[in-house]
């Protein structure tokens, strides 16, 4: 950037020549952008990806087994994170192609890059969002777009999160049923034998774990989760 001072008669003037400094973002801007992304990444991960459904279902599995701290929260969150990256891979790749790389090469400014990155993510979220949830938030916001893809992000995001929670609870209910049956059978057996001082959950826990291992439960749960996003 060059700054020239011109003193003409008694009236000084200043002219600024930016040259080609706007062709590509500077290193300082890239550093600020990276720090901003790191700051908002946790919220974006929870709000805008498949992470909520996956981590809620995994927590349901642990509770259905009757285990409070096994697997640990860190393990469940880590598994949910990598599964989310697997599910979101095509969308993130498209966002990188149409928005991030053109911005880094100076072909798009920040606003244009944001708009370009918004489209693939918006399309993916709408594919996972129930129409009833989207309509409810559109009515609350008093917006009535001609088609779902025209809905603003502040309407799509809460509708998407609500739909993810509903889907996670439906999957969790289905997972709970076989383990509940085992608890009922064990409880009825203990009562018929006159053993009332022994907690039924203590006896049913090994059977639930054995059943879960025999049917390769974790693989079935993960496969069902991945299939629910197609």
Alpha-carbon distances, residue 72 vs 59, 76, 122, 179 (angstroms): 10, 7, 33, 20
- Give me the pLDDT at residue 47, please: 80
pLDDT tens string 81-119: 899 989 988 888 898 888 888 878 778 777 888 888 888
pLDDT mean across residues, the chain: 80
pLDDT tens digits, one per residue of 38-79 = 777 677 777 888 899 999 999 999 988 888 788 888 999 899
pLDDT tens track for 121-158: 888 888 888 988 888 888 888 888 878 778 888 888 88
As a whole number of angstroms, the distance between CA 158 and CA 118 comes to: 16
Backbone angles phi, psi at 113, to 5 degrees: -65, -40
Residue listed under structure tokens 């949830």: 133
Give residue for tokens 């979101």.
88
pLDDT range class, residue 14, cuts 50, 70, 90: very low
Pick left, alpha or beta for residue 197 (phi over 0 → left; psi -120 to 50 → alpha; otherwise beta): alpha
Helix (H, G, I), strand (E, B) or coil at 215: coil
Chain length of the chain: 230
**C-alpha–C-alpha distance, residues 81 and 174, integer Å:** 23
Specify the pLDDT at position 16: 44
Give the pLDDT score at 54. Answer: 92
Radius of gyration of the chain (CA): 27
- Using a pLDDT cut of 70, give the percent of the chain over it: 87
């Amino acid at each position: 950037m060059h700054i020239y001072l011109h003193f003409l008669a008694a009236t000084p003037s200043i002219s600024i020549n930016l040259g080609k400094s706007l062709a590509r973002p500077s290193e300082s801007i890239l550093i600020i952008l990276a720090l901003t992304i790191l700051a908002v990444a946790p919220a974006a991960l929870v709000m805008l990806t498949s992470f909520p459904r996956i981590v809620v279902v995994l927590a349901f599995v642990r509770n259905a087994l009757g285990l409070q701290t096994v697997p640990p929260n860190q393990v469940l969150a880590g598994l949910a994170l990598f599964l989310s990256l697997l599910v979101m891979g095509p969308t993130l790749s498209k966002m990188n192609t149409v928005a991030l790389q053109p911005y880094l090469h100076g072909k798009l400014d920040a606003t244009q890059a944001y708009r370009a990155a918004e489209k693939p993510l918006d399309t993916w979220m709408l594919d996972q969002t129930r129409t009833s949830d989207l309509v409810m938030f559109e009515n609350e916001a008093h917006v009535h777009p001609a088609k779902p893809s025209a809905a603003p992000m502040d309407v799509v995001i809460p509708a998407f999160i609500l739909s993810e929670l509903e889907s996670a609870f439906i999957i969790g209910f289905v997972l709970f049923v076989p383990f509940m049956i085992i608890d009922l059978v064990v409880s009825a057996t203990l009562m018929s034998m006159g053993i009332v001082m022994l907690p039924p959950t203590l006896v049913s826990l090994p059977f639930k774990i054995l059943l879960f291992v025999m049917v390769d439960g974790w693989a079935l749960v993960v496969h069902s989760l991945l299939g629910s996003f197609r």
